[in-house]
Amino acid sequence: MANGVQKELPEKRPLSGVERAAILLLSIGEEDAAEVMKHLGPREVQKLGATMARLGSVTREQVEEVLSSFTELVESQTSLGLEAEDYIRTVLVKALGEDKADSLVDRIMLGKSSKGIDSLRWMEPRAIAEMIRLEHPQIISIVLSFLESDQAAKVLAVLPENSRPDIMLRIATLEGVQPNALAELDDILERQFSGGNAGSLKSSTVGGVKKAADILNFTDTSIESGILESITDVDPDLSQSIQDLMFVFDNLMEVDDRGFQALLREVQSESLITALKGADDALKEKFFKNMSKRAAEMMRDDLESKGPVRLSDVESAQKEVLAVARRMADSGDISLGGSGEEFV
C-alpha cells in the first residue's frame, strides 16, 4: 500500500469516508465525476485522487452498499431556502461562542467572495513563495494565515530562512485584517490570475497563536526548532503559548480507542512503522492493542526487522501520521486531545 501497490479492499472492515467517496466517483462515470471534482477544494481533490488510484478490486457488494447509502442520504436532503451565511453564523455562535464562530464563518465563506486569495490554495507552495517572497513580512503573514496549515508550512519552508521567525511572530500576534486591506490584497492576487473584481470582503479574523502552532505542527523539526528559538529570544511567553498549543506525536495517547482504530485505517503502514521507531513503549502498545492480533504481530516483526532509522526520517513520518490525525479531527472523524485548546 505504501509503495502504491493496488490491493483488494478488505470486506471485513468498514470503508473509510474517502474510500466511499472514491468508489462513488468511480461508479458514476468520468463526466459526472469531473463535475463533482469542480466543487471540491485542492486537499479533497488530492486525497480523493490518491485513493481512487490506490483502489484495486472492489466487490459488487461494496459498490452496492456505497450507492445505496448515498441514495438514502440524497433522498433525506431538502432545500430549506435559508440564507446560508446567516444560518451558519447563528448555529456556530450557539455552538462555539461568538469569537470562535466568527473566525470559522470567515473561513467557510471566504471562497464566495475572495477569488484571488482562494486561488492560492491550488498553487504549489514553491510558486506561492516565489510570488510573495519580496512582499513585506506582514503581507506574507496574512497570506500564510489564509492558507491551510500544511500548505502554509510548505511555503514557509522555501522562504528565506532568516525571514521565517519574523513571519511566524507576526502570524502569532495577528488579530485580524481590516476589509480595505484584505480587499486590496485580494484584488492584487486576482489580477495576477484572471482579472476582475474581488467583490466586497468583511473584516476577517485570521492568524493568532493557534494558527502559528498549527503551521509549526506541519514544519520539519529542524525548521520548527529554529523558529521557536528565535521567537523565544524576542518573546518567551509567546513562544511558550505557541508550544502549549502544538500537537505532538506523544499526544496521540489522548485519542480514544475508537479514534485510534479510525486513524489506523487511514495511515500508511510504512509511515507508521517508521514513526513508531521513535515512540515510547506505552504509545506503541496503544497502537498494537487497537489492531487485530495478527496485524499487531506483523507490526512488531516489521519494527524489529527494520533496523536503525535516521531521526529525521522518524520525525518526518510522525508528522505524516499527525497530519492525517488533524485532517480527521477537522472532519469530525476523531477527537484530538493535547496540551492546549481543543482542535476545531
CATH topology of domain 114-245: Annexin V; domain 1 (1.10.220)
- Can you spell out the DSSP letters for 146-171? HS-HHHHHHHHHHS-GGGHHHHHHHH
Q: Cell 466543487 appears where?
A: 39
pLDDT at 93: 66
CA distances from 204 to 7, 26, 238, 241, 287 (A): 45, 38, 22, 22, 40
Average pLDDT along the chain: 75
pLDDT, average across residues 223-233: 90
pLDDT at 205: 56
Q: Which CATH architecture has domain 17-76?
A: Orthogonal Bundle (1.10)
pLDDT at 222: 80
Would the pLDDT of 243 be above 80?
yes
How far apart are the C-alpha atoms of 138 and 194, rounded to whole Å? 25
- Give 2 or 182, the one with higher predicted confidence: 182
Confidence of residue 2 (pLDDT cuts 50, 70, 90): very low
pLDDT, average across residues 102-107: 55
DSSP reduced 3-state for 245? helix
pLDDT at 76: 61
Q: What percent of the chain has pLDDT over 90?
A: 8
pLDDT at 82: 44
Q: Are 114 and 185 in contact (CB under 8 A)?
A: no
Q: Which CATH architecture has domain 249-330?
A: Orthogonal Bundle (1.10)
Confidence of residue 3 (pLDDT cuts 50, 70, 90): very low
pLDDT at 125: 85
Would the pLDDT of 248 be above 70?
yes
Do the domains 17-76 and 114-245 sit in the same CATH topology, yes or no? Answer: yes
Would the pLDDT of 113 be above 50?
no
Q: DSSP secondary-structure letter at 196?
A: S
Domain residue ranges in the chain: 17-76, 114-245, 249-330
pLDDT, average across residues 220-229: 86
